[in-house]
A = this chain, B = another copy of it.
Amino acid sequence: MVSEMSAADAFSETTLASTRVFDGRLLKVRVDRVRLPAGGEHVREYIEHPGAVMVIPVLDSGALVFERQYRYALRRVLLELPAGKIDPGEAVEATAARELREETGYAAGFWRHLGTIHPCIGYSDERIEIFLARGLSQAGAAPEHGELIEVCELSLDEAIDAVAGGAITDGKTVAGLFWAEKVLKSGW
């Protein structure tokens, strides 16, 4: 049923004009004028994003490595899995290894790509590539300038309980934890 996707033509919007209206240090905002499939024109506003990775680091003990980080947009500290943006020209596997090392200090012996999610389909072209990392060894963290990160460990069950109880609300982390549970307990 899922494979019977509708003909994209019946839904597609044609770009008539495209303007970058904000070019910040972090955010790039674009406004496009489009032709709707049924005719008529509309305006589409969205963030241009280079894409990101998220890593689910599994220690030999079975515990997962998390971070606490202040997220200014939400004015609070969030408990999340390690993640970061893909640098220009960087292979996603390299981004995953780099971000894991920079933020937590861990190097991983084994990597597995689990899948891709789009966190914000209404107004961003961002994609997040999800990786599982095993065979971890501590090599020393090197956070980027201005990143204040506290590393901590939770068992998978503690983390899933934290989702149920509302202590973990980061969307990518919620999706990643449930996915990790499928892999680690159900053989996905």
Contact = CB atoms under 8 A, between A and B. Distances in A.
Interface of A: 1-3, 5-6, 8, 11-13, 21-22, 24-27, 29, 31-32, 34, 36-38, 42-47, 68-80, 115-128, 146, 148, 150, 152, 154, 158, 161-172, 174-175, 178-179, 182, 188
A100 B137 CA distance: 48
Given A24-B21, A44-B73, A148-B38, A170 B3 contact: no
A22 B22 CA distance: 7
Copies in the complex: 2
Contact of A179 (B68, B119, B178): B178
A76 B8 contact: yes
A54 to B, nearest CB: 10
A123 B21 contact: no
A167 B3 contact: yes
B2 A154 contact: yes
Contact of A25 (B43, B79, B150, B182): B43
Contact of A73 (B8, B21, B37, B121): B121
A139 to B, nearest CB: 24
Nearest to A66: B2
9 contacts: A8-B76, A11-B77, A24-B29, A71-B118, A73-B123, A74-B125, A116-B169, A119-B119, A175-B175
